[in-house]
């Protein structure tokens, strides 16, 4: 609640004491730690790595640099630091740089307090207003972030350029007593980075040769991508030396953590949440694609595979199933393996390809990643498929392969109705037998996803063939597909 205090005298009577922003952050963090309250809600996977390092940096009163690849929650961590600020702080009314009444640093605030004393009006600044953010781009100037002489102000006030009242403050002075974030720091030109030296070390600024010392009270947070150090720019060494803590961020280390992030961040419509069933194995498969991308020979792993890839892929996957249900007039539906074709646009726009990947084509690379993910997940549910079987060795999958060789192909249209989809998979008895033997406890709701999943895996292991048509997919035996290529 906003305090009902409106003058400097009332503030003194209330016993208010000034404290710097770093001390303020430290005080509130200490209370959270002592009371076992999380300070960075919504951050998943950093509980034993990044968050402890960040808390140590705040306790140490350091300016911070988050260093990591894209999509690693660097900016979100910086924004969540706002929750560690006090709810309200007093400022001298009309101050451009949020002067504290007990510690005024601007000429305006000092003169007003001197002239009006205890009657000097104050206003209150909320914690949400104490956050400033700047994306570092090559066109950023010293005037933008530090300040410059304002000819219009000089003319209006009839002041000479020697008077410091003609200064127009930049973003950093105006963020006094705030958390100030500079994203993508290496993109900031070296000469601009030099302008930050004094601010970080001594807390003051220099503008156009003025003998001006503003003891700014700020918490600086920077974000940087290590790829930037070679491709677009670098952080100059003296500036790195002035940043107290450099914290390395990272991608999720396991599928479970990745799933939690995706499920938390993927914004789905109420209809999708209520009417589309997504098996647990489908969620694992979705995350496994990202893990495969981070080790693929076709992908430039140095550029990173953002968590946003899995998030947007989840949204596209659900939308693929929703579109099918809308076309069929179904009130409910379930995710199918073939629905994963709908996530291709979410992958192609999120990965940087190396030369070999460019030769393959982004869509083909996306399908390759899906295939590799299927192979990894398949091994967690079914026996290993060997490329070459020993003579006389019985393969648990031979009956399925023989079915396609002896019987026919299987066509699954993208918009096929739910009952027709299930009937098509039920028409392959060896599939049912395989699940009965190795996954007998499979939930009935997951049964048909698992059946189709087995077919896709057999294709990846070259036991079956798969053809993509305009309206769907056809599974055939490898020999029939091979002979068909000659006939065509």
**pLDDT score for 98:** 94
- Give strand ranges (E) for 375-426: 410-413
CA atoms lying within 13 Å on the CB side of residue 20: 12
**pLDDT score for 482:** 46
For residue 393, name the pLDDT band (cuts at 50, 70, 90).
Answer: low
Six token digits for residue 69: 């690849």
Mean per-residue pLDDT, 445-452:
96
Q: What is the dihedral of CA 98, 145, 201, 235, to 10 degrees?
A: 150
Predicted confidence (pLDDT) at residue 445 exceeds the cutoff of 80: yes
pTM of the shown model: 0.87
CA-based end-to-end distance of the chain: 77
Instruction: Please choose, from the candidates 176, 179, 182, the residue with its C-alpha nearest in 3D space to the C-alpha of residue 74.
Output: 182
Q: What's the pLDDT tens digit per position in 20-31?
A: 999 999 999 999
**pLDDT score for 483:** 46
**Residue-range domains of the chain with CATH:** 8-248 (3.40.50.300), 251-380 (1.10.8), 393-488 (1.10.10)
Six token digits for residue 154: 């000089």
Work out the number of other CB atoms within 10 angstroms of the CB of residue 364.
14
Six token digits for residue 28: 């509130």
Q: What's the pLDDT tens digit per position in 201-241?
A: 776 676 666 666 778 899 999 999 887 555 556 888 888 89
For residues 160 and 162, give the distance between their C-alpha atoms in angstroms, rounded to a whole number.
5
For residue 323, name the pLDDT band (cuts at 50, 70, 90).
Answer: very high
> For the range 110-114, what are the long-range contacts, defined as Cβ-Cβ under 8 Å and sequence gap of 24 or more?
113/8
pLDDT above 90: percentage of residues in the chain: 69
């Amino acid at each position: 609640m906003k305090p009902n205090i409106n003058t400097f005298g009332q503030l003194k009577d209330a016993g208010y004491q000034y404290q710097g922003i770093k001390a303020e952050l430290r005080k509130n963090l200490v209370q959270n730690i002592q009371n076992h309250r999380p300070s960075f809600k919504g951050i998943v996977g950093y509980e034993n790595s990044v968050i402890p390092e960040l808390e140590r940096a705040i306790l140490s009163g350091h300016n911070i640099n988050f260093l990591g690849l894209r999509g690693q929650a660097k900016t979100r961590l910086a924004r969540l630091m706002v929750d560690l600020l006090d709810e309200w702080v007093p400022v001298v009314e009309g101050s451009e740089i949020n002067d504290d009444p007990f510690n005024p640093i601007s000429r305006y605030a000092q003169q007003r307090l001197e002239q009006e004393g205890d009657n000097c009006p104050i206003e209150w600044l909320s914690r949400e207003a104490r956050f400033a953010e700047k994306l570092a781009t090559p066109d950023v100037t010293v005037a933008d972030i530090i300040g410059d002489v304002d000819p219009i102000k000089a003319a209006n006030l009839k002041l000479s350029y020697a008077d410091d009242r003609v200064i127009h403050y930049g973003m950093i002075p105006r963020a006094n007593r705030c958390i100030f974030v500079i994203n993508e720091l290496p993109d900031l030109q070296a000469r601009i980075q030099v302008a930050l030296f004094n601010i970080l070390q001594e807390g003051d600024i220099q503008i156009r040769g003025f003998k001006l010392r503003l003891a700014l009270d700020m918490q600086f947070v920077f974000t940087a991508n290590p790829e930037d150090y070679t491709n677009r720019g670098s952080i100059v060494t003296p500036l790195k030396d002035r940043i107290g803590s450099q914290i390395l961020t990272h991608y999720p280390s396991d599928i479970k953590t990745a799933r939690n992030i995706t499920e938390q961040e993927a914004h789905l419509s109420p209809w999708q949440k209520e009417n589309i069933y997504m098996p647990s194995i489908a969620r694992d498969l979705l995350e496994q694609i990202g893990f495969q991308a981070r080790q693929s020979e076709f992908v430039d792993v140095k550029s990173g595979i953002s968590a946003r890839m899995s998030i947007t892929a989840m949204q596209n996957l659900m939308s693929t199933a929703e579109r099918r249900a809308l076309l069929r007039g179904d009130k409910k539906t379930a995710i199918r393996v073939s629905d994963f074709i709908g996530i291709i646009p979410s992958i192609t726009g999120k990965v940087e390809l190396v030369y070999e990947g460019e030769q393959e084509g982004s869509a083909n690379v996306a399908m390759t990643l899906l295939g590799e993910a299927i192979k990894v997940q398949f091994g967690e549910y079914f026996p290993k498929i060997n490329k070459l079987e020993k003579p006389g060795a019985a393969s648990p999958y031979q009956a399925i392969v023989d079915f396609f060789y002896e019987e026919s192909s299987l066509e699954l249209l993208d918009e096929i109705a739910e009952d027709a989809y299930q009937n098509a998979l039920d028409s392959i008895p060896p599939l049912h037998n395989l699940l009965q033997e190795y996954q007998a406890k499979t939930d009935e709701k997951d049964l048909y996803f698992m059946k189709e999943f087995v077919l896709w895996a057999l294709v990846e292991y070259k036991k079956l063939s798969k053809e993509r048509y305009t309206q769907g997919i056809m599974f055939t035996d490898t020999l029939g597909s091979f002979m068909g290529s000659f006939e065509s």
